[in-house]
Amino acid sequence: MLGLDFSFISLDVIDKFVLGGLVFSVKLTIIATLGGILLGTLLALMRLSGKKVLMVPATFYVNGMRSIPLVMVILWFFLLIPTLIGRNIGAELSAIITFVAFEAAYFSEIMRAGIQSIPRGQVHAGQAMGMTYSQNMRLVVLPQAFRNMLPVLFTQTIILFQDTSLVYAIGAYDLLKGVTLSGKLYGRPEEAYVMAAVIYFAICFALSWLVKRLQVKIAIVR
């Protein structure tokens, strides 16, 4: 087909190269999503707190992260972490830390929009019930904000999954790296790139289709 030969792909190749890489890519995506949402929500709360001590550093962090290419952030962390803690932690762990820190900035923008989309009356209602600030946030505002932002959060996760391929820059063993390695080993690098594209496409396309369904479902309930 088109001068390409995919006959090297076997269960053995998939088991040895593809699955191992895929597991790390998925692990990285999940940890970065959960950690990013947690940190991002904190950053969003800091930016909306109205206290300058909290607002200024949070704004600086978010805008700073958002104005640097992800590849540069990955390189920065890979260079700085060993110098700061005095020992090598490996490309994989470095990638995980980088992605949590980086994605927090993007998730915080999403959460900020989500929190701001909650009508003021909800906050006032909480206050009228005698709730403290943290009760109000935890029981009234954040649950609704999460719900409103769910489709956007998932879309960001799909983008995040695609971006995990950039750990290529520091040589971490992810899906792309595993597939490329198998291609090099069997002398079929071009075919391996096509295989990687097909796998990424299948996963991302299926996920974005699910997000679309979710969006419809949430829209009806609301």
Considering only residues 26, 48, 71, 118, which one is a binding residue for another protein as defined by CB under 8 A?
Answer: 71
Nearest one of 119, 125, 150 to 216, comparing CA atoms = 150
Residue 148 in the binding site for another protein (CB under 8 A): no
Considering only residues 113, 118, 150, 211, which one is a binding residue for another protein as defined by CB under 8 A?
Answer: 113
Residue 215 in the binding site for another protein (CB under 8 A): no
Least Å distance between CB 171 and another protein?
Answer: 11
Residue 200 in the binding site for another protein (CB under 8 A): yes
Interior angle at CA 138, CA 135 and CA 144, nearest 5: 130
Residue 29 in the binding site for another protein (CB under 8 A): no
Nearer to another protein by Cβ, of 127 and 215: the residue is 215
Nearer to another protein by Cβ, of 72 and 93: the residue is 72
Task: Tell me the C-alpha distance between 62 and 106, whole Å.
Answer: 7
Nearer to another protein by Cβ, of 142 and 196: the residue is 196
| Tokens of residue 118, six digits | 């909650």
Least Å distance between CB 179 and another protein?
Answer: 9
Task: Tell me the C-alpha distance between 108 and 89, whole Å.
Answer: 27
CB 77 within 8 A of CB 98: yes
Considering only residues 162, 185, 186, 211, which one is a binding residue for another protein as defined by CB under 8 A?
Answer: 162
- The interface region with another protein, picked from 6-14, 107-115, 131-139, 214-222 by CB under 8 A, is 107-115
Give DSSP secondary structure letters for 6-42: -TT--HHHIIIIIHHHHHHHHHHHHHHHHHHHHHHHH
Specify the long-range contacts of residues 3-8, CB closer than 8 Å, at least 24 apart.
Answer: 4/190, 4/191, 4/194, 5/188, 5/191, 6/188, 6/191, 6/194, 6/195, 8/182, 8/186, 8/188, 8/191
Residue 122 in the binding site for another protein (CB under 8 A): no
Nearer to another protein by Cβ, of 125 and 159: the residue is 159
Judged by the rule CB under 8 A, the positions of this chain that interact with another protein are 2-4, 66-72, 75-76, 79-80, 106, 109-110, 113, 152, 155-156, 159, 162-163, 165-166, 168-169, 176, 189-190, 193-194, 196-197, 200-201, 204-205, 208
